[in-house]
Amino acid sequence: MVKAVDKTKVPWWVSNAVVPLVNLTLAFIVSGLFIFISGENPYQALKLILYGSFGYLEGIGYTLYYATNFIFTGLAFAIAFHCRLFNIGGEGQAYIGGLGVFLFAFYFSALPVSIVWLLAILASMLFGAAWAIIPGYLQAYRGSHVVITTIMFNFIASALMVFLLVDVIRDRRQMGPTTEALVKEQWLPMFKNIAAYFGYKVGYSPLNISFLLAVLASFGVWFLIWRTKWGYEMRAVGHNTQAAIYAGISPKKNIILAMVISGALAGMLGVNEILGVHHKILVNFPAGYGFTGIAVALMGRNHPIGIFLASLLFGMLYQGGSEVTFDMPNITRYMFVAVQGVIILFSGALENLFRPQIEYFFVNTMKQKAVT
Amino acid sequence: MISQPILELQNVNKSFGHVQANKDISLKVNRGDIHGIIGENGAGKSTLMSIVYGFYQADSGNIKINDKIIEIKSPHESILSGIGMVHQHFMLVENFTVVENIILGFEGEFVFGEKLNQAKESLMKLCEDYNLKIDLNATISDLSVGFRQRVEILKALYRGAEILILDEPTGVLTPQEVDELFKILRSLKEQEKTIILITHKLNEIMILTDKVTVMRQGEIVGEKNTKDTTKDQLAEMMVGRSVLLRIDKRKPNIGDTVFEVKNIDVKDNLDVMRVKNVSFDLREGEILGIAGVTGNGQTELLEALTGIRQVDSGEIKLYGNIISSKNIFFDPRQLREQDVAHVPEDRQRMGLVTEFNASENLIFGYHHQQPFSKSSVMMGKNIYNHSKKIMRDYDVRPQSPFLVTSNFSGGNQQKIILSRELHKDPKVLLVGQPTRGVDIGAIEFIHQRIIDMRDKGVAVLLVSVELDEILSLADRIVVMFDGKLVGEKVNENVTDREIGLLMAGITN
Amino acid sequence: MEISADIISLVSATLRISTPLVFAAMAGLFAERSGVIDFGLEGKMLAAAFVAASGAHIFGSEWYGLGLAIVCCVALSMLHGFASVTHKGDQVVSCVAINILMIGLTTALAAAWFGQQGLTPTLTDDRRFFEITLPFADAVSGVPLLGPIYSEIISGHYIFVYIAYIFVPCVYWVVFKTRFGLRLRAVGENPSAVDTAGISVELMRYKALAVNGVLVAFAGAYLSTAINANFFREMSAGRGYLALAALIFGKWHPKTALIACLLFGFADALQIRLQGVPIPGIGLIPVQFIQAIPYVLTVVLLAGFVGKAIAPGAIGQPYIKER
């Protein structure tokens, strides 16, 4: 057994960079094993992923487009987690958030486009927050565990949306359960078009200016958590509820606040998907991004910078992964859901697997350097 | 007659991380003795005995029982070697019965039946032999602390203990329960059992033990036959210098009434009435000491006064205005804004967020006020400057505002809380167990600060289970027993015996 | 007296639908009573369903499938233990990891191995479980009242159904009348008490998790080799979470947890019956609303009644010796 080290002597980059990277490497090794037992070559798959995600401009566009979604859902999970709440309901909150985007854009189409965008963004947050506030309230006032209630709310959101898409807001001219498309003027500017404006010719990718919104949201979350009273209070509640009460901080209010902000961030996924890419609501458009947000946040250590980097990585996995599924018949996109699970396992639950050894190694080598 | 050592430790070392808790300890305990181990908080007494019991493993060194080296990897081996231990925090499953707790790990059969009945019979016999009156079918949560301790002793005896280790057994008992315990221990000694008593109380050593070992900072600094030593000598060995036993303080300069508490009832989280019809006044310039054994409602009373818990009936007035009643309730933030400072009883559970860094904890509860935050934005620079200054003033070590609080020692954590609560010159100071788990140097510092506040005209309420602390600081003393206040004494010529009787609920 | 066919089929369906919930809730009971949170029932159930169906297909017997499912679920429980007991990782995170991992891996491997878009091949009749008609079921069906109850409610279920309801009293007996049960409850309430009694806390929790794995495997195998004849994507459909909710609602006690499972099963059975049937006074309720009934019921029950459920004292906390 390795002796525990003096935590104050461990350099910050060991716990914030070296340990996560080791964990990630382990996760990739295990994932490679899965690809191997599926009858494909993991090394080839890795090459395909790298090429697919960064090998050409459109691929990069797709990578960043996926990353946009992961930033939103990753931030959503992280902010709730700072208050020690497991918001597993990002999926449902994003779904309902998308509904808000569509309804506002669709029914306020008479207003100027920029105002519609603003309203739609607010609507995404409002609708997502509304879907999160009920589990938040029940956790705060009734002690109903938020993990179970948010999961249930995912199922309920799914049922509700199918109902709406089939019976209420369906485009009757279409066979499938989907809405009418928004008018073209309301579509968010695509990366392709922006590039063309500056004279570069780029092929289609779904990347749009929502990406900037995601970057902005990252900064906002960082500021909220570490530079405002609200963030301070939420973290206090998350770490030690009793101490929070002692300091005059209401755990109930902060639990609800954290869930509301979390839901709002998850809801913003709807901006990218509805206003940016599909321009209408498709059945189950969140497609698992909400769950991926959990892996993203845990890998990013619940810090916006970490989440940004983890989102890029997952964007690569998604985009490169689709390249893999195209070329390797035995691999489906579900393989990459499994990879997420492995990453959550190694960078979340097993994050301390080799931490003592790694810290011991670094603290000792530094000590020896200092001696010599 | 020269008695044989039943237990011998040879060069035992143990460290936790970078802290060495036991340094090269060698010790002999004779059969049939009551052997005291005395030392300050953190001197390494409990760690040492936990090693003997197998709860921790020594890094190096030998443990010999009856002159044979035994390897103790877990409590399992030590129990089989005839060692029993009554821990400071009882190791009992609250919702189990006495019997279930005692047989745990020694059930003897997979499906309960025959052996369970045999166990009950032999337990009843044990109870008779040692005069322990315990209802074997009672649920632990229904038993008083004194009875729970007896269950622990019975548990050790049932498991065949020849050596019984007791870790600070009197901390949670009334003086009368202490007498009962000592009777039991003496009758155990008569039956040839060996007893090791860990304590920081000199009286207990003098009354009960045959031999005493003194520990300081993880090392043994002395070993005496009890009859050949004195309290003063032991105290000096414990601390490493002569100790100031009584604090000099002026006569109180008493002013207006600040807190008026009238007939309050307070319930705990499980809806149990913990404070019953309590009334008292607290005035400027005095220290009111609330004595009592742990768990007699002091915690809930303090929480009611500080806005953490609403009273169930009655009312609390601050400067003449109601702050807590059935219908009115001021929370801790509102009270802080009215210059009420609170140093809570349990600093790790309540006073600090140990995951926060020192500067974040130094503003905890005041974080929403200027200059720490302006329109909800935290003012990093102001917080840092404030932390630097306050850590220098209170000599908090190390003076690093960004160090995570769990890395500070107990005494320094307590200084962080105290400095935070005193920095705004409060008018009322409510303090719970200010020196629990704090080393002597910091104790003197903390006591002096509390006296200073009182001399500045602050109304101070001191809740402590350490009778010595109450007697040396308080101007007025009330005792809490079973949720009620049972007597008020002005702290002149009061003896600990008098207070002790009150702590046991004896009021005539 | 005649019992209406509707009620008979509803009760029979309730028993059938509750079965996987009962297995999973009893599995969860062992884990949580030992102090280890188990949100991972969902993932383990999925894994068991996949392994049972593919095992039965490949090795030619439903029993092999069940055996492999047990091995697989115990392995996953051990993984959960490795992360949250040995390495003291966050128990909920570990469960979420197992759930997401299994959602992905089962479907991915089904696609890779069987090439059918995430399904396993439909089991032939010699490789799956069938309903059992109990002795004399036909003979007594004519007897008033008791006849239909015996022949149509009690008789005619898969063997899993009988096993599940036999397991419940067994679980009760093990938890409350045996040494293992005493230590299990103690380790979930106050692990220090167990440690100082010379029993390894970690080993006890691993044992509890092993039992947990065995029980939850039955739930999964039931889904893919009995009521269905193959595995399909996310076929557990939240049953793991419902079982956990039932366990909490049942205050971690086998008897009350069973009642909660039956309640959820009844809601689901009712839901199936109500689809497409107009309700007097309201009219036709959209099918999606009816499908959501079990989920809404879960939220309502958790919100309304479980506010003060007292969980095992040490649940969710890794055991770290105080210093």
For position A363, what pLDDT does the model report? 85
CA distance A297 to chain B (A): 19
For chain C, which chains pass the contact test of at least 3 CB pairs under 8 Å? A, B
* Over residues A277-291, mean pLDDT: 93
For position C154, what pLDDT does the model report? 87
Residues from chain B contacting residue C179 (CB–CB below 8 Å): 107, 109-112
Nearest CA in chain C to B159: C197
B425 to each of A180, B341, B428, B452, how far by Cα in Å?
66, 9, 9, 11
Residues from chain C contacting residue B85 (CB–CB below 8 Å): 196
Over the stretch A100-150, which tens digit does the pLDDT of each residue have?
A: 999 999 999 899 999 999 999 999 999 999 999 999 999 999 888 898 899
For position B496, what pLDDT does the model report? 77
For position B1, what pLDDT does the model report? 47
Helix axes C293-305, C239-249, angle to 10 degrees: 30
Looking at the predicted structure, is the pLDDT value of residue B14 above 50? Answer: yes
Please indicate, yes or no, if residue C260 is contained in any of the structural domains: yes
Helix (H) or strand (E) holding B107: none
For chain A, which chains pass the contact test of at least 3 CB pairs under 8 Å? B, C
- Please report, to the nearest 10 degrees, the dihedral formed by the alpha carbons of residues A161, A166, A171, A173 taken in order: 160
Nearest CA in chain C to B44: C323
Over the stretch B53-106, which tens digit does the pLDDT of each residue have?
A: 999 999 999 999 999 999 999 999 999 999 999 998 899 999 999 999 999 999
User: A42: burial class by Cβ within 10 Å (0-12, 13-18, 19+)?
Assistant: middle
Distance CA C183, CA C196 (A): 12
For position A171, what pLDDT does the model report? 86
Over the stretch A332-371, which tens digit does the pLDDT of each residue have?
A: 989 999 999 999 999 989 988 898 889 888 888 877 777 6
Q: Which residues of chain B approach chain C closer than 8 Å at the C-beta?
A: 16, 47, 53-56, 74-80, 85, 87, 89, 91-96, 100-101, 103-107, 109-112
For chain B, which chains pass the contact test of at least 3 CB pairs under 8 Å? A, C
Distance CA A105, CA B44 (A): 69
pLDDT bin (cut points 50, 70, 90) of residue A329 is confident
* Over residues B422-435, mean pLDDT: 94
Please give the tally of structural domains in chain C. Answer: 1
- Please report, to the nearest 10 degrees, the dihedral formed by the alpha carbons of residues B400, B403, B409, B412 taken in order: 40
Q: Is B356 on the interface with A (CB under 8 A)?
A: yes
Compute the half-sphere exposure of residue A141: CA atoms within 13 Å on the CB side of its CA: 10
**Opening angle at CA A165, ends C107 and A69, nearest 5:** 55
For position B359, what pLDDT does the model report? 96
Q: In a mutagenesis test of the A interface, which of B269, B334, B337, B350 is the best target, namely the one with the most A β-carbons within 10 Å? A: B350
Q: Is C180 on the interface with B (CB under 8 A)?
A: yes
A and C: number of Cβ contacts within 8 A: 170
CA distance C230 to chain A (A): 18
> In which domain, by residue range, is C35 found?
2-129+137-308
How far is Cα of residue B459 from the mean position of the Cα atoms in its chain?
25
Residues from chain A contacting residue B355 (CB–CB below 8 Å): 239-240
Of A6, A228, A250, the CB nearest to B377: A228
Please indicate, yes or no, if residue C322 is contained in any of the structural domains: no
Nearest CA in chain B to A3: B17
Residues within 8 A of B (CB atoms), A 8-67 only: 8
Among C38, C35, C26, which residue's Cα sits nearest to residue C95? Answer: C38
Over the stretch C135-155, which tens digit does the pLDDT of each residue have?
A: 888 888 778 878 888 888 888
Residues from chain B contacting residue C172 (CB–CB below 8 Å): none
Q: Is C197 on the interface with B (CB under 8 A)?
A: yes
Please indicate, yes or no, if residue C313 is contained in any of the structural domains: no
Whether the CA torsion B119, B125, B128, B131 is positive or negative: it is: negative
Low-confidence residues of chain C, pLDDT below 50?
1-2
Distance CA B195, CA B202 (A): 17
C261 to each of B40, B116, C240, C256, C266, how far by Cα in Å?
55, 34, 11, 9, 8
Other C-beta atoms lying within 10 Å of the C-beta of residue C166: 10
The 3 state secondary structure assigned to chain A is CCCCCCHHHCCHHHHHHHHHHHHHHHHHHHHHHHHHHCCCCHHHHHHHHHHHHHCCHHHHHHHHHHHHHHHHHHHHHHHHHHCCCCCCCHHHHHHHHHHHHHHHHHHCCCCCHHHHHHHHHHHHHHHHHHHHHHHHHHHHHHCCCHHHHHHHHHHHHHHHHHHHHHHHCCCCCCCCCCCCCCCHHHCCCEHHHHHHHCCCCCCCCCCECHHHHHHHHHHHHHHHHHHEHHHHHHHHHHHCHHHHHHCCCCHHHHHHHHHHHHHHHHHCHHHHHHHHHHCCCCCCCCCCHHHHHHHHHHHCCCCHHHHHHHHHHHHHHHHHHHHHHHHCCCCCCHHHHHHHHHHHHHHHHCCCCCHHHHHHHHHHHHHHHHHC
Residues from chain C contacting residue B80 (CB–CB below 8 Å): 198
For position C305, what pLDDT does the model report? 64
Give the CATH number for residue C199: 1.10.3470
Other C-beta atoms lying within 10 Å of the C-beta of residue B14: 22
* Over residues B208-220, mean pLDDT: 93
Cβ atoms of A75 and A152 closer than 8 Å:
no
CA distance B304 to chain A (A): 11
Please indicate, yes or no, if residue C184 is contained in any of the structural domains: yes
Residues of chain A with CATH 1.10.3470: 68-318
Of C98, C112, C306, the CB nearest to A144: C306
Q: Is A142 on the interface with C (CB under 8 A)?
A: yes
CB contact (8 A) between residue C93 and residue A332: no
CB contact (8 A) between residue B308 and residue A236: no
Compute the half-sphere exposure of residue A350: CA atoms within 13 Å on the CB side of its CA: 21
Q: Domain A68-318 is of which CATH architecture?
A: Orthogonal Bundle (1.10)
